[in-house]
Amino acid sequence: MSQRRRRTDVIADPSFVDGLADVDTATLRARRQLCLVVERELSYQRRMLHGRIDLIGYEQRRRGGEAEGSPIDSLGEILHDTISGTGRMTPDALAAGPVIHPGPGRRPIDRVLDADTLGRLESASDEELVAARTAAEALEREISDQRRTAHRVEALLAAELAERYRTGSITIDELITG
């Protein structure tokens, strides 16, 4: 596995889970930890996109007469709706701890998040809002697919660890602490 590849690509590569019975427990645990870290980062990226989508959607509803006030003036309401259940995020999703975002780069999320759409929501054309929302929603779907892959791979790794414990090849202490 090349270190130059994105971690999501490393995890998605079939060789990452091939022959798990022959992989030593420390490597197996490290691979599982990588899946957990990647999943947390992807979840953070999705939350960032959901916030952007919600703000753009609010501006679109405002223009259609379904909402009043600017998105900035209504930010508390928009965020409250998102956290309280009418939106996508839940309090548990917010409790995951901080994720350090390294700043702008070449990733698709960097391009979507760096777009100036939010800074000029009220002055953006309808077409610009549609394009920004479409780009954010498409990227959210892509990140969701990557996140599902991380979940699937992590489950395979966890199952191998559990099988090793079940068969007695590792102890509970080795399973938990390494």
Q: Are 150 and 8 within 8 A, CB to CB?
A: yes
What is the C-alpha separation between 55 and 162, in angstroms, rounded?
A: 43
What is the C-alpha separation between 136 and 48, in angstroms, rounded?
A: 10
Q: What is the pTM of this model?
A: 0.76
Judging by beta carbons within 10 Å of its beta carbon (0-12, 13-18, 19+), is residue 174 exposed, middle or buried? middle
- pLDDT, one tens digit for every residue, the chain (178 residues): 445 688 999 999 999 999 999 999 999 999 999 999 999 999 999 998 998 899 899 999 999 999 888 877 777 787 776 555 444 444 444 444 444 445 555 677 777 777 677 788 888 999 999 999 999 999 999 999 999 999 999 999 999 999 999 898 877 777 666 5
Task: Give how far Cα 129 sits from Cα of 13, 88, 96, Å.
Answer: 36, 20, 30
Map out the domains of the chain as residue ranges: 23-172
The pair of three-digit structure tokens given for residue 30, joined into one six-digit string:
């490290």
User: Buried b / exposed e across 106-119, counting CB within 10 Å, b at 16+?
Assistant: eeebeebbeeebbe
